[in-house]
Structures are given as structure tokens and as C-alpha cells.
């Protein structure tokens, strides 16, 4: 049973380009969470998705950022017109249901985005 | 607003020492409390999960406790080894996500 798979592991984009980050959850998990980690900082919640639904996007910047989790395929975090401040590690986590007393959240290895 | 605080931010100990990492949270209505390890440039590895009805969990040399009334969790590492050097993060489960502390960077000196 593969864990959470994120790709690419490293992504370099020039300012103004688009970045697309992919996350395949643990098989059978229907809940996906995206977090951002700036250098020397903790993880900040961005968005929580279920299949075909955005449940909580309170941590997403209002502009340029979007996320989806389609019925088929991985979850995608999309950043348009990237700026230097978007450089960070982006982590994806999945769980069957995070409120379930018996569930853990499993994290991917992250995508390290560098904007040059 | 849920906040999770970890003290100290950094800790250095000689090999073999026992140590305690602290985590405080403001929201007593938690579901679970989870401890993670993060190595430099790597992802997060789940260490221990304490359900809200539990008081502690143990795995090998690690023991995590949870005191909801005081809003605290501790991670105890026995007989520390250089391989334990990493950043340790605690996370409180909220309604829709995990709230993370900023971590404690542990260095175990051989």
C-alpha cells in the first residue's frame, strides 16, 4: 500500500509562470489536505478537499492559488503567476476522515518550489 | 483561534540523555494529538497518535502524553541517539485539519 505520493519533488519556476503540484493520497483515502512550509517555519494549513469538493479553503491566498481533487486522478494545487514569496515546501496529507478517532494523517514527501 | 506552541524551539543534548519536548494547545476540544518527525529537506513521519480519550501512547523509546485539562502534550525520548536529531512537530486535530506547532529542532551530540 503506497503512501501519499507527491510530484514533482522539486520544481523550479520563473516569476510569472504557473506551478502545478500533484498529490496522490493513500489508496482508499478520500480526504486530502495541503500545507505550506516556509523556510524555518511550521506548516500552515491551506485547503482541505474531499473528492470533487472543497471543504475548507480558509488558508488559501485569495488570488493565484487554487486546488482541486477530481473524482479520478490526483489532487492538484495550482499556483498561477508565481512570485518569489511562493517559494516553499508544499506538503499534502491524506486520511480516511481526520475527525475519526482512529485515523492518522499521512504526509507525502513534499514538493519544494523555488521561484527564480 | 487555535494555536499550538512548542517550547523550546531548539534543543541540544549529549547522546544517551533522556529528554522531554513540550507542546501546548489552546483548544481543549481536540480530537487527536499527533507527533511527527521531520528530517531536513524531508517530509513528515508520524511518530505517535494520541486519541482525545487517551492519556499516553508509547512506541519504543518514545512516550507521548496528553493532558487536555491543561492543554499540554509532551514527547519523552529515552536514551537519545544521534539518529534522533530532527525537528519534532506536534499537531492538534481540529474540525477540518491539523494545526501544527512550529517544532522543536533536536540535536543529539555524539
Higher pLDDT, A75 or A42: A75
What residue has cell string 501512547?
Answer: B57
Q: Which residues of B touch A99 (CB under 8 A)?
A: 31, 93, 95
What residue has cell string 515546501?
Answer: A89
For residue B15, give the C-alpha cell.
Answer: 547522546
The whole-number average pLDDT for the span A84-91 is 96
CA distance A24 to B46: 18
What residue has cell string 472543497?
Answer: A54
Q: Which residues of A touch B102 (CB under 8 A)?
A: 41-42
- pLDDT attached to residue B93: 79
10 Å CB burial of residue A49 (0-12, 13-18, 19+) is buried
Partner residues linked to A24 by β-bridges: A5
- pLDDT attached to residue A100: 60
Name the band, by pLDDT with cuts 50, 70 and 90, for residue A17: very high
Residue ranges in chain B whose pLDDT is less than 70:
1, 28, 95-96
Q: Is A46 within 8 Å of A27 (Cβ atoms)?
A: no
CA distance A5 to B27: 31
CB contact B69 to A (< 8 Å): no
Q: Is B52 within 8 Å of B46 (Cβ atoms)?
A: no
Closest listed residue to residue B53, CA positions, set B76, B30, B73: B30
What residues contact B32, with CB distance under 8 A and at least 6 apart?
Answer: A101, A103, A104, B49, B50, B51, B52, B92, B93
CA distance A115 to A95: 30
Q: Which residue of A has its CA nearest to B47?
A: A104
Of B31, B43, B51, the CB nearest to A91: B43
Higher pLDDT, B110 or A101: B110
Q: What is the mean pLDDT of chain A?
A: 90
Strands B72-77, B62-67: pairing kind = antiparallel
Q: Which residues of B touch A109 (CB under 8 A)?
A: 42-43
CB spacing of B52 vs A101 below 8 angstroms: yes
- pLDDT attached to residue B96: 67
Backbone angles phi, psi at B26, to 5 degrees: -95, -25
CB spacing of A98 vs B91 below 8 angstroms: no
Name the band, by pLDDT with cuts 50, 70 and 90, for residue A2: low
Q: Is 80 exceeded by the pLDDT of residue A61?
A: yes
Of B46, B89, B93, the CB nearest to A106: B46
- pLDDT attached to residue A38: 87
Amino acid at each position: 500500500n503506497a503512501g501519499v505520493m507527491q510530484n514533482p519533488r522539486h520544481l523550479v519556476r520563473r516569476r510569472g509562470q504557473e506551478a502545478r503540484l500533484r498529490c496522490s493520497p493513500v489508496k482508499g483515502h478520500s480526504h486530502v489536505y495541503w500545507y505550506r512550509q516556509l523556510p524555518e517555519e511550521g506548516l500552515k494549513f491551506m485547503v482541505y478537499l474531499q473528492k470533487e469538493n472543497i471543504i475548507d479553503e480558509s488558508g488559501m491566498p485569495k488570488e493565484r492559488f487554487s486546488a482541486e481533487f477530481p473524482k479520478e486522478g490526483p489532487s492538484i494545487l495550482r499556483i498561477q503567476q508565481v512570485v518569489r514569496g511562493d517559494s516553499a515546501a508544499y506538503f499534502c496529507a491524506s486520511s480516511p476522515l481526520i475527525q475519526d478517532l482512529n485515523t492518522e494523517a499521512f504526509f507525502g514527501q513534499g514538493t519544494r518550489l523555488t521561484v527564480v | 483561534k487555535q494555536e499550538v506552541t512548542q517550547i523550546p524551539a531548539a534543543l541540544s543534548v549529549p547522546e544517551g540523555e533522556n529528554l522531554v519536548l513540550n507542546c501546548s494547545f489552546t483548544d481543549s476540544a481536540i480530537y487527536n494529538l499527533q507527533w511527527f518527525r521531520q528530517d531536513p529537506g524531508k517530509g513528515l513521519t508520524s511518530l505517535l497518535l494520541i486519541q482525545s480519550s487517551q492519556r499516553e501512547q508509547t512506541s519504543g523509546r518514545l512516550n507521548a502524553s496528553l493532558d487536555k485539562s491543561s492543554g499540554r502534550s509532551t514527547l519523552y525520548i529515552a536514551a537519545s541517539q544521534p539518529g534522533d536529531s530532527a525537528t519534532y512537530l506536534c499537531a492538534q486535530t481540529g474540525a477540518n485539519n491539523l494545526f501544527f506547532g512550529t517544532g522543536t529542532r533536536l540535536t543529539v551530540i555524539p
